[in-house]
């Protein structure tokens, strides 16, 4: 356990903790449990997992001794356990920087939000059973996520995919999150969105896979988005076709096919004149310029 980790916790998670005064001497597992609010059984488990190792273990008695500088980490673990993140993620939460810590907490918050929707649905069904409105053997199929929740989750996840795309140095975990959130957004828009929303969700999937260097998936989603735009339907704007063509070009570029990429860039450029809003034209134009570098 390094003092550097403890100092970082004091700035981030540690700001919410009330650290009890302790002496400079090593503490037995019982004293440390009292200081942190963690049970001795939990502390033994955290030692095995490498989450919170004792400062010293007597080679003969196997008694565990903890240092006073470990109290803040112990209390942070106790607080996080109350918030129910997966146990194996707690070490990363404690030891990463403040920005990464925030992203991980946001991701856990989204998991809890979805679980709360499912629990709310389960409580409602239980109440109907208790009141005799439904029977246990009734064949009832109900979507546990209502339309408003689908729309909120779709929007939040779509925005999150943009946040991750714009990160300069994503970690492998953030790459995985990017794939998960963009497909989750596409799923929710597929449940309640119009044709335009579904096309834009496919577009975003293609953009993500292009950024990750996965051309096969990028081309699949880009072509699907372009098909949806050309089929037309509710909700399309004058910029949708230009954007769809730009993303197809991007996917071909990810596949290393420069000539096809240039072909679709030219098609997208020809559609720009049909975009009325100058800001929309500028955004699409800047995205096309990226492909010519």
Asked if residue 11 has pLDDT above 80, the reply is: no
Kindly report, residue by residue over 217-247, the tens digit of the pLDDT. Answer: 999 999 999 999 999 999 999 999 999 999 9
The whole model's pTM is what?
0.54
Boundary (domain end) residue, out of 79, 95, 111: 95
219: CATH: 1.25.40.10
Q: Which domain holds residue 11?
A: 3-95
Percent over 90 (pLDDT), the chain: 46
Least confident range from 61-70, 141-150, 170-179, 262-271: namely 141-150
Asked if residue 22 has pLDDT above 50, the reply is: no
d(CA 140, CA 284): 47
Q: What is the mean pLDDT of the chain?
A: 85
**Domain count of the chain?**
2
Kindly report, residue by residue over 145-172, the tens digit of the pLDDT. Answer: 778 888 888 888 998 998 888 888 889 9
The pLDDT, as a whole number, for residue 193 is 85
Boundary (domain end) residue, out of 26, 60, 95: 95
């Amino acid at each position: 356990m390094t003092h550097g980790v403890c100092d970082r916790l004091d700035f981030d998670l540690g700001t919410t903790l009330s650290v009890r005064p302790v002496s400079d001497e090593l503490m037995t597992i019982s004293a440390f449990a009292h200081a942190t609010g963690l049970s001795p059984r939990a502390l033994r488990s955290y030692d095995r997992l490498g989450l919170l190792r004792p400062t010293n273990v007597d080679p003969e008695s196997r008694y565990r001794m903890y240092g006073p500088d470990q109290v803040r980490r112990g209390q942070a673990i106790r607080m996080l356990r109350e918030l129910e993140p997966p146990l194996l993620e707690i070490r990363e939460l404690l030891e990463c920087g403040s920005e990464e810590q925030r992203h991980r907490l946001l991701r856990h918050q989204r998991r809890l939000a979805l679980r709360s929707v499912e629990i709310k649905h389960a409580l409602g069904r239980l109440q109907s059973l208790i009141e005799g409105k439904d029977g246990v053997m009734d064949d009832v199929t109900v979507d546990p996520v209502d339309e408003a929740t689908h729309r909120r989750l779709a929007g939040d996840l779509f925005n999150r995919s943009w946040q991750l795309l714009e990160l300069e140095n994503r970690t492998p975990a953030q790459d995985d999150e990017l794939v998960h959130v963009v497909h989750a957004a596409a799923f929710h828009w597929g449940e309640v969105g119009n044709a335009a929303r579904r096309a834009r969700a496919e577009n975003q999937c293609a953009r993500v896979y292009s950024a990750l260097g996965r051309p096969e998936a990028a081309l699949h989603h880009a072509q699907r988005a372009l098909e949806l735009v050309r089929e037309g339907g509710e909700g399309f704007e004058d910029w949708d076709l230009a954007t769809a063509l730009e993303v197809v070009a991007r996917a071909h570029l990810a596949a290393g096919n420069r000539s096809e990429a240039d072909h679709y860039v030219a098609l997208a450029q020809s559609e720009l004149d049909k975009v009325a809003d100058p800001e929309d034209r500028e955004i699409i134009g800047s995205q096309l310029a990226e492909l010519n570098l």
